[in-house]
Amino acid sequence: MKACSPPAGGHAATATGCLRGRGGVCAAAAAAAADVDLVWLEAALDAGFSLIAQRRADAALGWLTDRPEALPAPLDAMNLGEFEPDVWLPASHAAARLGTISLGELARMEVIHGPRRAEPGTYDAWTRILRAVDPRVEFTDPPLRHSLQMDLAFAAAADRLTAVLTGPSVITGSQPRLIRLPRPMVTHDMVRVGLTDHPLTATAALVWNGDLPRPLQQVLFDAADGIARPDPAWASRTEKVSAAW
C-alpha cells in the first residue's frame, strides 16, 4: 500500500492504515497482525480521491461530501460518521444568544474559512451551498492556518460582523450549543453556535482502491471499523459500504 490521509492535517500513511489517534493504534495493530509496514505521508485529497483513483496511493482517510456510492470505480469506502462545522459569532450577534444561525444569516456575513488547499472537497461543496443562498458569497482565508484563536481575534476586530466557520469538527446534531470554551483559550468575545438544520456536513470515510489484494483490504476495513466500535456515538453511525471481499 502507498498512502492514507486523515480528515484534518493532510497526513497520510503508506503500506496499511492511516488512522489518527485511537484509530492509528487500531491500524498499527491490524498492520502488525497482517505483517504489513505502516508509513505516514503528507497528502492533499480532492473530493474524488484522485490520489487513490490514479494509484498514487492505496488508501486515504478523508471527507466525502457526496454518497460513498458516488465515488468512481474501483474505489471502495467505509463511512465513519457524518460531521458538521462549528460557527463562531461575535457575542453581539442575535444568533449568538439563540445558539444557532441560519444559512441565510451566515451568507450575509463575512466568513473566515479555509484555505481551500487544506480541504478542497468540503470547501467547494460548502461554497456551492452558500452561493445557492447568495451568489456573492466568498470565504476569507484565515490569517494563520491551524490557529482558531487567531481566527477569532481577526473576526472580533473586523470592521463588519464576521463569522469563523471551522472544518467538519463535531458529529452532526450532537454538539451542545451556546458554549464558550474555558480558559486558557481566549475567545475574544466570540460565541460558538450551530447551523440551523445542519446544511453543511461531510462524511468521514476510509477510501481505498478496490484492486488491492484482499488481505490488505481486510486490514483497512478492520482498522476503520475499530475507530467506531469503542464509542457508541460513532458506532451507531458506522456504515459498511463495501463489505464483500
How high is the pLDDT of residue 10? 41
Task: Return the ∠ at Cα 68 (arms to 125 and 114), rounded to 5°.
Answer: 30
Q: Are strands 59-64 and 202-209 parallel, antiparallel or unpaired?
A: antiparallel
Same fold, 11-81+203-235 and 82-195: yes
Model pLDDT for residues 10-57, shown as the tens digit of each residue = 434 443 333 333 334 344 445 555 556 656 676 778 888 988 888 888
Give the Å distances, CA to CA, from 232 to 23, 26, 202.
Answer: 15, 17, 19
Structure confidence by residue, pLDDT tens digits, 121-166 = 999 999 999 999 999 999 999 988 778 999 999 999 999 999 999 9
Distances 229 to 120, 144, 233, 235, 238 between C-alpha atoms, Å: 29, 35, 9, 5, 9
Any idea which of 63-67, 92-96, 147-151, 230-234 has the lowest mean pLDDT? 230-234
Question: Domain 11-81+203-235: which topology?
Answer: D-Maltodextrin-Binding Protein; domain 2 (3.40.190)
Grid cell 457508541 is found at: 232
Whole-angstrom distance between the N-terminal and C-terminal Cα of the chain? Answer: 17
Element at 129 (helix H, strand E): helix 120-133
3-state helix, strand, coil in the chain (%, to 5): 30, 25, 45
CATH number, domain 82-195, options 1.10.20, 2.40.128, 3.10.450, 3.40.190: 3.40.190
Enumerate the domain spans of the chain: 11-81+203-235, 82-195
Helix (H, G, I), strand (E, B) or coil at 70: helix
Condensed to tens digits (0 to 9), the pLDDT of residues 215-236 reads 888 888 887 777 655 444 433 3
Q: 170-193, pLDDT tens digit by residue?
A: 888 775 444 444 444 667 899 999
